[in-house]
Amino acid sequence: MTASPRPHEHDLLRPLHQGARDFFFLQNRGYPRRSALEWVGNRYQLTHRERQLLHRGVFSQKDALQRLAARSRGVAWQNEWLVVDGHNVQITVESSLLGRPVLKANDGVLRDLAGQSAKFRMTEASLLAVDLIFRFLEEFRPARALFLFDAPISQSGLLAHTYQKRMKLLGLRGSAQAVPVPERDFPYTQAMVASSDQAVLEKASKWVDLACLALAFDGSLRLAEDFSSFTLSSTAYRDPPPAFRPQLIEP
pLDDT at 237 over 80: no
CA distance 72 to 223: 21
CA distance 243 to 235: 17
Nearest CA-CA partner of 132 in 90, 174, 164, 162: 90
Q: Which residues pair with 103 in a beta bridge?
A: 111, 225
Nearest CA-CA partner of 174 in 141, 146, 136, 135: 146
pLDDT of residue 1: 38
- DSSP strand pairing (81-85 vs 192-194): parallel
Query: All domains of the chain, ordered by start, with CATH?
Result: 9-67+227-238 (no CATH), 74-224 (3.40.50)
Instruction: Grade residue 13 by pLDDT with cuts at 50, 70 and 90.
Output: low
pLDDT at 69 over 90: yes
CA distance 209 to 93: 11
pTM above 0.75? yes
Residue 185 or residue 1, greater confidence: 185
Instruction: Grade residue 3 by pLDDT with cuts at 50, 70 and 90.
Output: very low
Nearest CA-CA partner of 231 in 27, 16, 14: 27
pLDDT of residue 146: 98
CA distance 74 to 152: 34
What is the average pLDDT across 18-29? 96
Burial status of residue 44 (CB atoms within 10 A of its CB: 0-12, 13-18, 19 or more):
buried
Nearest CA-CA partner of 198 in 8, 70, 37, 36: 70
Strand ranges of the sheet holding 110-112, from the earlier edge strand across to the other edge? 110-112, 102-104, 225-226
102 within 8 A of 222, measured Cβ to Cβ: yes
pLDDT at 17 over 50: yes
Instruction: Grade residue 236 by pLDDT with cuts at 50, 70 and 90.
Output: low
pLDDT of residue 75: 84
CA distance 216 to 136: 10
What is the average pLDDT across 79-86? 96
pLDDT at 47 over 90: yes
What is the average pLDDT across 210-233? 93
pLDDT of residue 247: 46
Instruction: Grade residue 116 by pLDDT with cuts at 50, 70 and 90.
Output: confident
Q: Rounded mean pLDDT of the chain?
A: 89
Lowest mean pLDDT among 11-15, 39-43, 161-165, 183-187: 11-15
pLDDT of residue 235: 55
pLDDT of residue 48: 96
Q: Which residues pair with 81 in a beta bridge?
A: 144
